[in-house]
Amino acid sequence: MTKENMEFKTEVKQLLDLMIHSLYSHKDVFLRELISNASDAIDKARYEALTESSIMESEKEWKIKLTANKEAGTLTVTDNGIGMTKDEITKALGTIAHSGTKEFLAALQSREVKDNPELIGQFGVGFYSSFMVADKVTVITRKAGSGDKKAVKWESSADGFFTVEDVEKEKKGTDVVLHLKEDEKKYIEEWEIRSVIRKYSDYIEHPIVMDVEKEQDSALKKGEKVRIKEEETLNSRKAIWLKDKADISEEEYKEFYKHVSHDFTDPAKIIHYKAEGTSEFVALLYVPSNMPFDIYYKDYKMGPTLYVKRVQIMDHCEQLIPRYLRFVKGVVDSSDLPLNVSREMLQSNRQVDIINKSVTKKVLDTLAEMKKNEYEKYLSFYKEFGRILKEGIHFDFSRKEAISDLLLFQSMNKPADTYIPLQEYVDSMKEGQTEIYYITGASYDEAKNSPYLEAFKEKGYDVLIMLDEVDDFIATGLEYKGKKFKSAIKGEINLDKSKEAEKEETKKKFNALIELIKDQLKDEVKDVRLSGRLKDTACCLVGDEMDMDPQMEKLLKSMGQNVPQNKRILEINPGHPIFEAMNKLFEKGQKSVVLEGYIKLLYDQALLLEGSKPKDPAAFANAVTRLMVKDVEKAAG
């Protein structure tokens, strides 16, 4: 068949443009990416070969070969892995943009990355990074086990198009031929290739080989040397996680992290241990320092890479770790699982459960240790990942306590940059305080200055400030050291339990006025009552104990969800002079138009205080202005 000319998908075109013009100075990562693809292709073939022996064809070993051709100016990466069909390669390298590509591009357009091309390394740059060093790339590939020599040749100069054509290929697998740019010809040099492999791909399990020239004693003539070509394996192939801790340098650990995570920055914590007993496995795990850019995407792939006796089974095995630790990266190598373990089997496997339990405990212990011994580092971790970690409070009942101990919050009595653990809050609770109080809000300042906190301030109680939308959800029903959590903006607040008799008196006094307000506002609020939380402010709106938190409501609405309209409760402050005055007016003249106007005005104010808008802003503004006029006239005599 003839050559077909095809167009790259828009996002891929943009990505290619970026690669060609990249100012990124570690261009040598292209080789890491190609070798990683080759290694994945071999892993896939090996996995399939477990059940389908024809995949092996006539070959006995797996291998990645590098071939430098000085005359042609090319570097070729060859693997004898799974290979691709025409349809597969057209999609994989052309017409389908990978998940996250759009977001990746958006991030790269941002100022931060533009000014700092090094950040490119944070993302998995993949096959297309070849175009940082090559002006043309040719891929020749044949699917393993296909039974004939029919293969496909893909080629592109990254000008928006690529070609595919039918060719023949003797061996299964893939050749990626890089036609190196004039100023990137160094990648033909043996020493350069060696050093890049050592740096990025030393622990790749499969041999990465290259033909190198060597001097040898001549067999024909004594005393003379001849130069011969010999295949040499460039990588040590030692799975880093199987090495002794003492033999692994900090640098090696970090390099491997970059390999498994595609993160350019150093990890916050390295966890490397061997489990023996009911389950035998090795785990090398990392807690990142920075949020992966795709962690909130639907198709974010979580979980460490799963190996069984050094054979890679799965890139990301989500069964190995709970979702609330989905930021953890690394590998787990089990000695107990069968090699042909399937995804379905993983879902209900005792060994997997044991590993999951062990890994979870280890990560939580490590975080606890970090919090204790390296607080600053922990705080910066927490600011990145705390929001995800918190999900564990809700979903992992058995570890509620351990996770609670890892939580940090801002608080009313502390400056915005200070976060406190729950233990500290509980330790500084005042005499007579029985609950842990918290307020949710959109910002620290808004929460701290909220009128809802007046009674707490007067008592000298501290109130935790919770700014994540999920916080209320998590705090509801949570207990810490036997103390319940109580929202300052929901339910009744009663901090003066000793003054019950006095309160009954006040209630009686305002009863009729409250009934009147209730009647007037019956379509707006579900109840009107005296407030235990206000001191200076006249009134406010609160939710019932079980009502949805306003922050959560906002979040759901912004996601386009239908949130049922919940009526609020109006709380009035009996200590405020306005109610004293209104009560007098009421006792004198029963129902009056003036009173009605004031009730409306007070309700609108309460709406403003909780961050909502009066139903009729113009009417509200008019009413306020009328009062101002009265006041000004009075002042002017």
Residue 391 CA to residue 467 CA, distance in Å, equals: 15
Return the number of the residue (21 or 91) whose C-beta is nearest ligand ADP: 91
Return the DSSP state at 166. E
Position 292 contacts ligand ADP (CB under 6 A): no
Which lies closer to ligand ADP via its Cβ, residue 126 or residue 303?
A: 126
Among 32-40, 229-237, 535-543, 563-571, which window interacts with ligand ADP (CB under 6 A)? 32-40
40/47 Cα distance (integer angstroms): 10
The encoded tokens of residue 150 equal: 């029919």
The only residue of 49, 92, 402, 556 in contact with ligand ADP, by rule CB under 6 A: 92
What is the DSSP-derived secondary structure letter of residue 440? E
Distance, in Å, from the CA atom of 550 to the CA atom of 537, rounded to the nearest integer, reads: 20
Query: Cα separation of 204 and 23, whole Å?
Result: 28
Q: What is the SS3 assignment for 309? A: coil
- All residues at 6 or more sequence positions from 57 whose CB lies less than 8 Å from its CB, including other chains: 144, 145, 171, 172
| Beta carbon of residue 96, minimum distance to ligand ADP (angstroms, whole number) | 9
x-or-dash string of contact with ligand ADP, 238-277, rule CB under 6 A: ----------------------------------------
The 3-state DSSP class for residue 317 equals coil
- Rounded to a whole number of angstroms, the minimum distance from the CB of residue 606 to ligand ADP is 54
Question: What is the rounded distance in angstroms from the CA atom of residue 333 to the CA atom of residue 283?
Answer: 6
In the list 12, 16, 37, 465, the residue contacting ligand ADP (rule: CB under 6 A) is 37
Residue 392: its H or E element: helix 391-395
Q: Determine the residue with CB nearest ligand ADP.
A: 126
Say whether residue 488 binds ligand ADP (CB under 6 A).
Answer: no
Query: With binding defined as CB under 6 A, does residue 100 bind ligand ADP?
Result: no
What distance in Å separates the CA atoms of residue 572 and residue 589, rounded to the nearest whole number? Answer: 21
Please give the size of the binding site for ligand ADP, defined by CB under 6 A. Answer: 17
The residue (of 54 and 443) whose beta carbon lies closer to ligand ADP is: 54
User: What's the rounded Cα separation, in Å, for the pair 83 and 92?
Assistant: 12
Stretch that binds ligand ADP, among 31-39, 188-196, 227-235, 629-637 (CB under 6 A): 31-39
Q: Out of 18, 46, 57, 81, which residue is the one contacting ligand ADP (CB under 6 A)?
A: 81
Stretch that binds ligand ADP, among 79-87, 162-170, 378-386, 481-489 (CB under 6 A): 79-87
Burial status of residue 313 (CB atoms within 10 A of its CB: 0-12, 13-18, 19 or more)? buried
Q: How far is the CB of 82 from ligand ADP (least distance, A)?
A: 6
Number of residues in the chain? 637
| Segment interacting with ligand ADP, rule: CB under 6 A, options 13-21, 80-88, 331-339, 398-406 | 80-88
Q: CA Rg, the chain, in Å? A: 34
Minimum separation from the CB atom of position 152 to ligand ADP (A): 12
Query: Using CA atoms, how far apart are residues 571 and 592, in angstroms rounded to an integer?
Result: 22
436-440 and 464-466 as β-strands: parallel, antiparallel, unpaired?
parallel
CA atoms within 13 A on the CB side of 310: 10
User: CB 174 → ligand ADP: shortest distance, Å?
Assistant: 4
Q: Among residues 128 and 381, whose Cβ is nearest to ligand ADP?
A: 128
Which residue, 37 or 312, is less far from ligand ADP as judged by CB?
37
49 counts as binding ligand ADP under rule CB under 6 A: no
CB-based contact 330:284 (threshold 8 Å): yes
Q: From the CB of 95, what's the least distance to ligand ADP, in Å?
A: 12
Partners of 570 in beta bridges: 528, 541
> Binder to ligand ADP among 12, 19, 35, 41 (CB under 6 A)?
41
Fill in the per-residue mask, 106 to 135: x = in contact with ligand ADP (CB under 6 A), - = not in contact: ------------------x-xxx-------
Which residue, 99 or 433, is less far from ligand ADP as judged by CB?
A: 99
Token pair listed for 574: 């009996």
What is the rounded distance in angstroms from the CA atom of residue 6 to the CA atom of residue 13? Answer: 12
Find the binder of ligand ADP among 28, 79, 405, 454 (CB under 6 A). 79
Question: From the list 35, 75, 84, 359, which residue makes contact with ligand ADP (rule: CB under 6 A)?
Answer: 84
Q: How far apart are CA 205 and CA 383, in angstroms?
A: 36
Binding site residues, ligand ADP, CB under 6 A = 33, 37-38, 41, 79, 81-84, 92-93, 98, 124, 126-128, 174
